[in-house]
Amino acid sequence: MKKICIALDTSPAAEIIAKTGYEYAKLLNAEVTLVHTIYGASFYIRNYDPIMGYEGYLTTGQGSLVDNFKVESEKFLQATVNFLGDQTIKTNVLFGETHTAILDYVNEAKCNLLVIGSHSHSGFENLIMGNIAAKIVKHSEVPVLIVPIKNK
């Protein structure tokens, strides 16, 4: 069986990445796993509009960071499963440096394709932390489908 891993963050671009990856999976009759990586709390402080039925990591009305990132990540991934309308989709929360955690998972799960977005942070953030998509493409042992996302 073919296996496709779709790596998502909680930015609005996740909807496009999830839909695109899922469409490929359906065409290939492949098993799908959605993954989200927890690495560094500063990313989760951002407040996004709800995407795919998921409200975000901040506690409504309190403005405080939810203590358990894993539980919130699982909620985000389940909201994405619900949005895509296929309860056979698997989910997995990963921990560690984003590109390393994703690539380790893809190799361990014997995935045949990895779907990621190309969106990047500001030029300064890219200079400091590098571009995750570029690191994944450079080190991946499986084909990578990059969904282009332009920040507007």
Spell out the residues 6+ positions from residue 120 whose beta carbon is closer than 8 angstroms to its own: 126, 131, 132, 133, 151
Domain edges within the chain? 3-147
pLDDT given for residue 151 in this prediction: 60
C-alpha 116, offset from chain centre:
7
pLDDT given for residue 31 in this prediction: 97
Of the candidates 39, 72, 70, the one whose C-alpha atom is nearest the C-alpha of residue 57 is 72
Right CATH for 3-147 from 3.40.50.620, 3.40.50.2000, 3.50.30.50, 3.40.1710.10: 3.40.50.620
pLDDT given for residue 39 in this prediction: 79
pLDDT given for residue 61 in this prediction: 42
**Which residue numbers in the chain have pLDDT < 50?**
59-67, 124-125, 127-129, 152
Which tokens is 151 given? 């920040």
Q: How far apart are CA 24 and CA 116, in angstroms?
A: 13
pLDDT given for residue 130 in this prediction: 52
pLDDT given for residue 41 in this prediction: 54
pLDDT given for residue 64 in this prediction: 40
pLDDT given for residue 123 in this prediction: 55
